[in-house]
Structures are given as structure tokens and as C-alpha cells.
Amino acid sequence: MSKVKNDSIFSLINSLSKSEKWQFKVYANRLNKTGNKIFVEAFDIISGQKEYNEQELLSIEKLKPSQVPNIKQNLYKQILASLSNSSVMSQENQVTRYVEHAKFLYNKCLYNDCLIIIEKAKRAARENYQLIMMLELLELEKAAIIQTANDNISERIDKSVQEITEVSRQLQNINRFSNLSVRLTAFYQHVGFIRDNKDLKSVRDYYNKNFPEFNIRDLSELEQLYLYSTITSFYFFVQDFNKGYKYAKKWLQVFEHNPKLIKAKTELYIKALNNVLVAQNKLFLYAEFKEIHQRLVSLKRQKQIILTENLQLNLFKAIYIHEINRHFMLGEFKSGTRIVNALEKDLMNFIPKLNRNTVMIFDYKIACLYFGNYQFKVSIKWLNKIINEKTSDLREDLQSFARILRLICYFELEDAEMINYNVKATYRFLQKKHSFVKYQQLIMDFLRNSKKTDTRSNTIARFGQLKKNMQKLENNRFEKRAFIYFDIVSWLESKIENKSMQEIVQQKASRYISKTSV
């Protein structure tokens, strides 16, 4: 029996906290079923593994190879059952349990008792903004009312039908907003920011065709969250960060007007904070950026919010991505690399849970920090993680610009052989991905024509010419996206002025921040 690295039972057990593992053992020991001892032993074995090895399960006495699949399946079910009895899970699933109880009473023909439970469940569903559960409760309520012979039955049915209509309307809007947002996100994760008129037209046409008509005054707060999320995603995608910032703030304001939503929809709240920070970073709104980032970090200390592993993962991503972004804004590359060293262990622990898109963003941003700190070999190490990515259709933009930045690293290292080899390989990649832009062509031509024998004055002149050519591209709708990935102009200025890139970026940051603070 061969080793299996990614077995679902191993992943589940590996995700459990110490208290959850203890809880399972208590739960399992209460069961008086045949085979109980075997699946507890299986749990102990898998719990102690760093890498899943099914062969070790056969050390359990009387366990045959043919029984292993059933033992694993039973163990998986029992772990989930034990978790459903935990205090955290009980709070999250309070409405679900109410629904189960109400259905049980309904099936026992105890209709009035069923309606009493439904009323409690509806209050809890409203407080937690659980519309899907609310709809299920309303349908059950309608069926139970019909079975009672009260004088006000017509009035109760009318009220129930009205509630069903309203909840259904809200769910329909939320689904249409969120479906559109997910589609845009999938497109972004494939290609990155829009590359040309074809991309822009494709995104705009899809957005306009699928964006539902609405009157903002008719939308509930929950609907507004999904509405502003979708609009923000669209404007970020087409690189209109001013409008993106406007709607990201509207998104956040919905939470600020009703703090109860923060507890009920914490994941959406984290995303709202994240999107506000993205825009503030792009627009150099540093004072506002600091305030929102502190608010994001403070979520870890708020006792009223139960941070599941999923929420912890989302917080980790947002906090550290923007901690890195803060160092970019200020040009603090040296201290930024210290942050990376401090979080690298956490990053390695989280990587198995992070999606590939997020991992690639981390890799690229970290590579840029090391580049800014003149640690070019370390930068290449992080860039190679992206370049060697097996999922070739994911974030073609990062894969393209990682190759360009690696070429510049080889230039800094004066490795002419690697430049020549990789210019050809990069050219082939860009042609294959239809990702060639003028920005990339200019850099590759510059690097290919660079020679060690060039005089200082000749080299400075070539840097100056490249800078002029690059500055012409900064105002081009589709070429300017390249400057989001790497600040080529600041690098060229550091070469021309014989200063560190950190000095150049810090000088610019000081000017930008002072302008936006006025």
C-alpha cells in the first residue's frame, strides 16, 4: 500500500486543534459500537503522522487491508459528528438545529409546537442574516399553519407568503451580485489586470449584461454588501482605483452603520477592509491606510468574533499582504525583508491552505522586496517559485512579469550568460501567452544589448533613454498596468543618479503622501 500525501482523512485530522482532538477522543470513548477501538486507534496513528502513510494503519490488531476504506470513512463521519457538538459549532448551527427540531415536531403532527420552534428559529436566522435557512423555515411554517385550525389562519398565511417573497427577492439579488463577482474574480485569477481593448470590452460587456437593475433604497443591508463588493471588483479589474475606492468605502460603511453585521458576516467584513486597503495603497493614502490596517489587525483581539480557521486564514492573508504593501509605499525594502523573515514560518504553515493565486501574489511581492534590498539571488529564488508553477493558466500576468524581473536580477548580478538564455526563453513564453507589451519589449531589448565593456557615460545614456521610453508608457491605458508589477522608472533613476532604489522610492513616497494628506 503506497503513501498518499493528500488524503482527506489526514487533512481533516491535521486541521484539528488540540482541544478538538481531545473532544473527539471523549466523544469516541462514549460510543459503545463494535469497531470503536479500531477507529480510535486509527485516529491516534494518523494524528501522529507528518505525512499520510496508510501502511501504518495495518499495525492495528485484527485490521485487514480490505477494511481500511470503511474505517477511514467511519472515522471521518465520527470526527464531523464530534465537531458538531462543540460550543463553537453549536453557536454557528443554532438555526440548523432549530430547523431539525421543527421538522421532527411537524412529522409527529405536533404542529403548534412546531410553530413555536419556528418562531425562535426565525428570530435567530434574522439576527445572523441566514436567508437560506430563513426561506426553509418559512416554507415549513406555511405547511404547519395549514395543518392548524386557527381563526387567523388566512392572516398568518398572508404574512408568511409576504416574508417568503421578500426573502426570495433578497436571495435572488445576492446570488446575481455574488455570481457576477465570482466570474470577474475567476477572470482576474487567470490573466490578472486587463491587458488590452479586447480584455476591456470583454469584461465591460459581461459586467453590463449581467449586472441586475436595482433601486438602492429597496436593497437590504445584506444585499448592499454584495452589491458594493461586485462593483468594487469591477473597477479594480479595469484599474480605476478612484472609483474602486469610492465603492469599497460604501461597502465598509454598511458594516459601520450596523456593527451586528461584522459578527454575522466576518469574512465579508475582512474582504471589505482588504479592498479599502488595496485602493488606499494604489492611491498613496497612507494615513487612511494605517488606520484601516490597524482596524484589520484588531480583529484578532475582538472576543465577540469567533475566528474559525477559515477566518484566521483570511486575516493572515490580508494583514501580511498589506504589511508588505506598507513597506512598498514607504520604500522600506530593508525592513520589509525582516518582516518576510519573521512571517516565513507562518507562511509555510498556511501555504497548504492558501489558494495558488494568493501564494503567487506572496511570492512576487516578497521577490520585489528582496530586489529593492539588492538581494538579487534571494529575489530569484522567490521568482522561480512562480516561474516553476505547474498551473500554467493561472495568473499569466505574474508569470510574465516574474520572468522580466528575473532578467533584471541577472543584469544586476552581471550574469550575461543567464540573460542571453532567459531573454530567449522569456520571449517564447510571452509570445505563447499573447502577453507581449511594449514595456516588456523595451526591457528585453535593453538587457540583450547591454555589454560589460560599455563605458559609464554610455550606460547612463542608455538608462536615460530607457527611462524616457518608459515614461511615455505610464499614461497608456493598457501599458501602465506593467508599472503596478514593477517600478521600473525608480530602478532606472537609481542607476542614473547612483543612489539605492530604496532612496529613490522613499523620496517619491514622501512627495506622494504629503500631496494626499493635504
pLDDT in tens, the chain (518 residues): 333 334 788 888 888 878 888 888 888 877 655 556 777 888 888 888 888 888 888 888 777 888 888 888 888 888 887 877 665 554 557 888 889 899 999 999 999 999 999 999 999 899 889 999 999 999 999 999 988 877 678 888 899 999 999 999 999 999 999 999 888 887 777 666 667 778 788 888 888 888 888 889 999 999 999 999 999 999 988 888 999 999 999 999 999 999 999 998 999 999 999 999 999 998 889 989 999 999 999 998 888 888 888 888 899 889 989 999 999 888 899 988 988 888 777 777 777 778 888 888 889 999 999 999 999 999 999 999 998 877 666 677 788 889 889 989 998 998 888 888 888 888 888 877 666 678 888 888 888 777 766 677 888 888 898 888 888 887 777 677 677 778 888 898 998 998 889 999 888 888 877 776 65
For residue 418, tell me if it sits in a domain: yes
Answer whether 335's CB lies under 8 Å from 343's CB.
no
Residue 250 is predicted with a pLDDT of 97
Phi, psi of 14 (to 5 degrees): -65, -25
20-58: pLDDT as tens digits: 888 888 888 776 555 567 778 888 888 888 888 888 888
Residue 86 is predicted with a pLDDT of 61
CA distance 138 to 132: 10
Answer whether 315's CB lies under 8 Å from 296's CB.
yes
Query: What is each CA distance from 153 to 35, 156, 158, in whole angstroms?
Result: 52, 5, 9
For residue 472, tell me if it sits in a domain: yes
Cell of 362: 506572496
Answer whether 117's CB lies under 8 Å from 102's CB.
yes
For residue 403, tell me if it sits in a domain: yes
For residue 510, tell me if it sits in a domain: yes
CA distance 133 to 112: 20
For residue 497, tell me if it sits in a domain: yes
Q: Which of 85, 102, 127 is the last residue of a domain?
A: 85
For residue 216, tell me if it sits in a domain: no
Q: What is the pTM of this model?
A: 0.81
Q: Residue 386: which of 368, 372, 412, 411 has the closest Cα?
A: 368
Q: Which of 65, 85, 105 is the last residue of a domain?
A: 85
Phi, psi of 484 (to 5 degrees): -70, -35
**Greatest extent of the chain over all pairs of C-alpha atoms, in Å:** 99
Residue 389 is predicted with a pLDDT of 77
Cell of 24: 473527539
Residue 4 is predicted with a pLDDT of 37
Q: What is the tally of structural domains in the chain?
A: 2
Domain containing residue 22 = 8-85
222-276: pLDDT as tens digits: 999 999 999 999 998 888 899 999 999 999 999 999 999 999 899 999 999 999 9
Phi, psi of 415 (to 5 degrees): -100, 85
Answer whether 281's CB lies under 8 Å from 329's CB.
yes
The amino acid occupying position 483 is: F
Specify whether the backbone of 495 is left (phi greater than 0), alpha (psi in -120 to 50) or beta: alpha
DSSP, collapsed to helix, strand or coil, labels residue 318 as helix
Residue 517 is predicted with a pLDDT of 61
For residue 188, tell me if it sits in a domain: no
Q: Which of 46, 66, 85 is the last residue of a domain?
A: 85
CA distance 430 to 232: 29
For residue 81, tell me if it sits in a domain: yes
